[in-house]
Amino acid sequence: MTMIQGEERMKATIVDVAKESGVSVATVSRVVNGNYPVREKTRLKVENAIKKLEYVPNLQARELNMQRSSSIGVVVPSFDNMFFAEVLDGIEEHLRQSSYSLLLACAQNDAAREEECVRDFITRNVSGVIVVSPNTEMAVSDFYENTAARLPLVFVNSAREIAGISYVTSDQSSGARAALEHLFHYGHERILFVQGENSDSYRIKEKVYREIMRERGTFHPEDIVNVGEGNRIETVENTMFILMDMMLDLEPTAIFCCNDLMAMGAVNACQRMGRRVPQDISVIGYDNTALSQYTAPKLTTIDQHMGDLGREAARLMLKQIEENVTENVVLANTVVERETTGFRVE
């Protein structure tokens, strides 16, 4: 930008460099300070813009920026459900190659605690935050929309789309359909649906269950069972006792559970009631956590490919940090048939 005669040309700012190179101000800062990993292609674009605009960094600001950590915060609702541990493995595996480190926080299945975790990460000056299975109460508030304007955010398995946030989710609608079709294949019609609370994952599966069972004329509202908190180790026992009570009056031939913890509780309930699995009643879970293949009998379940979810979340985070680009990714779910299904109902 040229000034009138007798005045100096206005100095370029970091905002000018960001606009010229097509990246975020944060990315320009990382290139200038050299304290964060940036892709070679992105770095060259920024350096060319700096030369073109003759940008001179503010040394005082640079010294302050050098104090920032090259960390990414990850919030999970619980440590009890192995689903989250396997997602974390995928995140860590991908970030390990980029020299970023993880800061981990547990929201303890509480919306207020989830917000507190994210705010704490912001005060720690992290480069971005990945939220795994965000609480539905939080997802509909303004908090995340406001946070996305301040730093990169990635959601794992959320159905709520908020501008400025990248998403990676498994196709749980198709997965729920696949689970029900698997049970229909073996002749099941009276199928209990077991879910928890405050999760988009449960809501998506319930919607599919209602639609399909109504289409078949076999929907009964009392067949939907809510066991409350679905991601604690206590979920197994809670599900067992709730189903033992319900099945005194109901005669289902199959149970579709929204995660493997609930499915383990369902199997335990059947066994305590003297009902053989799968000969008398079939059970299908969801997630394909490592424990599902070590139950007795081994659990039929839907594989969400948690490692892939984690790796994609990490990739999306780096893309947002380095290129200021958001992206939505949907991964396929698949049926893993083991021993809790397979017996045909006559």
pTM score, two decimals?
0.78
Give the CATH number, domain containing residue 75: 3.40.50.2300
Which residues share a beta bridge with 168? 156, 329
Same domain, 219 and 324: no
Is residue 337 in a domain? no
| Amino acid letter for position 149 | A
Is residue 93 in a domain? yes
Same domain, 75 and 161: yes
Same domain, 176 and 289: yes
Give me the sign of the Cα torsion angle 118, 122, 125, 128: positive
Same domain, 178 and 249: yes
Establish whether the linkage from the previous residue to 297 is cis, with ω within 30° of 0: yes
Nearest-angstrom CA–CA distance, 332 and 330: 7
Is residue 297 in a domain? yes
Last residue of a domain, one of 269, 288, 304: 304
Task: Note the helical H segments in 247-323.
Answer: 260-272, 306-323
Is residue 5 in a domain? no
Same domain, 152 and 188: no
Is residue 346 in a domain? no
Same domain, 291 and 196: yes
How open is the CA angle 178-217-285, to the nearest 5 degrees?
A: 30
Same domain, 283 and 324: no
Same domain, 185 and 164: no
Total number of domains constituting the chain: 3
DSSP annotation of 81:
S
Closest among 259, 305, 255, 309 to 282, alpha carbons compared: 255
pLDDT digits (tens, 9 = 90+) for 197-256: 988 899 999 999 999 999 999 999 999 999 999 999 999 999 999 999 999 999 999 999
- The per-residue pLDDT string of the chain (346 residues; one tens digit each, 9 = 90 and over) reads 333 333 345 678 888 888 999 998 888 887 877 656 678 888 889 889 888 888 876 654 544 454 546 899 999 999 989 999 999 999 999 998 887 899 999 999 999 999 999 999 988 889 999 999 998 887 667 889 889 988 999 999 998 888 899 999 999 999 999 999 999 999 999 999 999 998 889 999 999 999 999 999 999 999 999 999 999 999 999 999 999 999 999 999 999 999 999 999 999 999 999 999 999 999 999 999 999 999 999 999 999 999 999 999 999 999 999 899 999 999 999 999 999 999 999 7
Is residue 9 in a domain? no
Q: Which domain holds residue 115?
A: 71-170+306-331
Q: Which residue has the tokens 């609702």?
A: 77
CA distances from 320 to 19, 46, 71, 128, 239 (A): 16, 16, 14, 9, 40
